[in-house]
Structure 1
Amino acid sequence: MNNPAFSLSAYAPYSTPDVASMAWWVAMSSTLKLDRIWFGQQTFAPVVAGVGYASGRGHRAAVGTAVTVMPTTTPFATAQELRATSRLTGKKTCGYLSPGYPEIQRRMTGSQWASPLTATREFVAAVRSLLAGADTDIRGEYFHTAHQATGVDDSESCEIGLGVLRPGMARLAGEIADGFITWLSGAEYFSQVLCAEANAAADAAGRSRPRAVATLHAAPEVPDADVPDIVRGAIGPHLSAPHYRDMLERSGIPLHEIPTDVDLRNVADRGLFCTGDHQEIIDRANALAFAGADEVSIVLHQRPGQGLTELFDDWAALAAAHDPVLQRNELAS
């Protein structure tokens, strides 16, 4: 299969335990000339801390955060971290946001948001204004942000996007975001639902279509007997979550509330989790690119007993399969 034009990036699986671990991912992405390294919601330290640690050791790579769950932060803190990350790396930083699920909203704000889409509009508007260095006075239903103009415009160095699972958020991304990213989606649903809804909303709003980023979960060369256990360990909690199950049912992948081995094999067979060799993983990424992804971010899950050296080797093989000439030249220099 010929490679369509798409950016290949890495997604660090889940929260990293410390800044040195984050820096390892930045260094790996920089060494292999990947287009970006994405980090999810962090528990132990902010992404900018790991990026700063890596930069101090001479490693710089384009960085994305996906998704930052809005109830855990504020527009001011988000804008501040995006600005700092961009300046540390010297590259455009992507900050992709999500209202999260109702339980997080209740735990962090005291109540479930009646309209997550409204909350997202308010949050994005405030972050954009702050990054532009403008006078900011957003008095919304969910977020109140007032700040005097700094006169320092960092809006061109930061990309604001949304995490998208279903049509409503895809339409909102088309109306207000620079891009969108999805965590679990096959090529057909990505193309026919998410891209279609986002692009139609952007066209109706008279604005540029948002950049589309697809994630692909993978673990190379997993024996067939081990596939259910690998998939369960990697994405089992997501497959049990109501909002993910709803999305997957919309795309024709029904699941039991507690996914069975048959469910987990079906997830792999339908392209949501690739357990083949490195070329098969890139072929799956190609399929997402043909479906409309401008960037495919691979979430490469470590197999039992696999260390960082083996993980780096897997990433080097993926990078070479994506762009063999580039990688031969870079790694030989």
Structure 2
Amino acid sequence: MPVSGKQLLPFADMVRKGDAERLWTGQSLLIEPHAALAHAAGAGARIPMGTSVTLMPLRHPFQAALQARSLAALTGQPFVAGFGTGPEPFVRALRAQGYTSPLTAVREYATIVRALLAGEAVDHVGAYFSMGGALPPMDTPPVELGLGVLRPRMAELAGELADVAITWLAPPHYLAESIVPALARGAERTDRPRPRLTAVVHVSLDAADRDHETTVLAAAQAHLQAPHYADMLGRAGIDVDPHDLPKTAARLIDSGTAAVGSADDILRAVTAYREAGADEVVLSTIGTQTLEGTRASLDALATITAAQRSSR
């Protein structure tokens, strides 16, 4: 979670220079992510951006569509607006009760956001979200609707409604065997192209005194304690031991879910994700950032992207 707007600027500059294709940020409870990205745009970062993912209980679908379209306007570039339900305790804290049917909640939210971004008047009264009206017309670069997916049923819904499906901590073999087929089934039901698949991958580059298991655990610890992530990883054959999370982090490394080692090792892991069906791989240095700070995080990304350029 960034603690200042300027903290994003060197990451944005890597995209501006062509080292990467898009700047991604997740949900932050320190500086709100749309505000942070707008700051970067105002500082000259006219680059493609995306959120992976912002949490639905925090904003009405109208506000979500408005914020996403605003960033497309401010950057002059396409924007991926990724949404997810968030963990059940968080949902309950904001709504007094959880989503009895997360699939229904996501369907309603995504349907409203998609229609608003398309310039349509919406008249929807749902179990969780309702909307009557439209966004005022405005010509902007496209906003793509993204949905966070962990399990096949949500992936099928993303296949029906989303432009981009976004995964987090999902191993390559699980993408190939479960998520990609589910996306295709959903897309087939509505006779639309399969959504692009974006995989967020935690990386830990070799460096003196850097322990990969510790770094991966720093990135993934909160998610590993969430039941829906533990269920997804269990389906993928990775046992999550809540009493021994370091051992679980080691399993993420051994399974290729996290990418660690030299720059070439990490690029081989990225290739495995692409071969599994990922159209875009997000290099997440959250663990390095948490333990060692921005400079170490930027140095790792610079090394990995330089290795990518030299391999072309």
Separation of aligned partners in 1, 2:145 and 2:10 = 25
Which residue matches 2:194? 209
Which residue matches 2:37? 51
Contact residue 239 and residue 259 of structure 1 kept, 8 A: no
Secondary structure, counterpart of 1:323 in structure 2: helix
Mark the CA change 1:149 to 1:63 in structure 2 (over 3 Å): closer, same or farther: closer
Q: Deviations over 1:147-185 (max 9, x none)?
A: 24623365x610001100111101100111111011101
Structure 1 moving runs of 4+ over 4 Å: 222-225
Shift, 1:303, TM fit = 6.6
Does residue 281 of the first structure (1) align with residue 271 of the second (2)?
no
Q: 2:309 aligns with which of 323, 326, 332?
A: 323
- TM-score, normalised by the number of residues in structure 1: 0.87
Contact residue 26 and residue 61 of structure 1 kept, 8 A: yes
Separation of aligned partners in 2, 1:287 and 1:201 = 24
Does residue 93 of the first structure (1) align with residue 79 of the second (2)?
yes
Which residue matches 1:271? 256
Moved more, 230-239 or 307-316: 307-316
Secondary structure, counterpart of 2:205 in structure 1: coil
Which residue matches 1:173? 158
Separation of aligned partners in 2, 1:304 and 1:80 = 31
Contact residue 48 and residue 84 of structure 1 kept, 8 A: no
Which residue matches 1:243? 228
RMSD: 2.2
Letter in 2 for 1:65: T
Shift, 1:241, TM fit = 1.6
Separation of aligned partners in 1, 2:25 and 2:183 = 23
- TM-score, normalised by the number of residues in structure 2: 0.92
Which residue matches 2:133? 147
Letter in 1 for 2:282: S
Which residue matches 1:78? 64
Which residue matches 2:55? 69
Mark the CA change 1:209 to 1:79 in structure 2 (over 3 Å): closer, same or farther: same
Secondary structure, counterpart of 1:60 in structure 2: coil
Shift, 1:228, TM fit = 3.0
Mark the CA change 1:151 to 1:233 in structure 2 (over 3 Å): closer, same or farther: closer
Secondary structure, counterpart of 1:160 in structure 2: strand
* Structure 1 unaligned spans of 5+: 1-14, 327-333
Shift, 1:58, TM fit = 2.3
Which residue matches 1:329? none
Mark the CA change 1:153 to 1:123 in structure 2 (over 3 Å): closer, same or farther: farther
Shift, 1:55, TM fit = 2.7
Moved more, 201-210 or 17-26: 17-26
Contact residue 198 and residue 209 of structure 1 kept, 8 A: yes
Moved more, 247-256 or 220-229: 220-229
Letter in 2 for 1:205: T
Mark the CA change 1:261 to 1:148 in structure 2 (over 3 Å): closer, same or farther: closer
Does residue 37 of the first structure (1) align with residue 23 of the second (2)?
yes
Contact residue 220 and residue 276 of structure 1 kept, 8 A: yes
Contact residue 81 and residue 144 of structure 2 kept, 8 A: yes
Moved more, 285-294 or 219-228: 219-228
Moved more, 242-251 or 32-41: 32-41
Which residue matches 2:122? 136
Which residue matches 1:3? none
Separation of aligned partners in 2, 1:32 and 1:148 = 36
Q: Deviations over 1:277-333 (max 9, x none)?
A: 11111110011001101000010232787453443232122112223278xxxxxxx
Which residue matches 2:213? 228
Separation of aligned partners in 1, 2:215 and 2:134 = 50
Mark the CA change 1:227 to 1:53 in structure 2 (over 3 Å): closer, same or farther: closer
Shift, 1:186, TM fit = 1.2
Which residue matches 1:194? 179
Relative CO higher for 1 or 2, CA cutoff 8 Å, sep ≥ 6?
1
Secondary structure, counterpart of 2:211 in structure 1: helix
Separation of aligned partners in 2, 1:222 and 1:206 = 48
Separation of aligned partners in 1, 2:58 and 2:203 = 28
Contact residue 32 and residue 316 of structure 1 kept, 8 A: no
Does residue 308 of the first structure (1) align with residue 298 of the second (2)?
no
Mark the CA change 1:304 to 1:168 in structure 2 (over 3 Å): closer, same or farther: closer
Mark the CA change 1:317 to 1:100 in structure 2 (over 3 Å): closer, same or farther: same
Secondary structure, counterpart of 1:66 in structure 2: strand
Mark the CA change 1:148 to 1:234 in structure 2 (over 3 Å): closer, same or farther: closer
Moved more, 309-318 or 212-221: 309-318
Separation of aligned partners in 1, 2:139 and 2:42 = 25
Separation of aligned partners in 2, 1:26 and 1:307 = 16
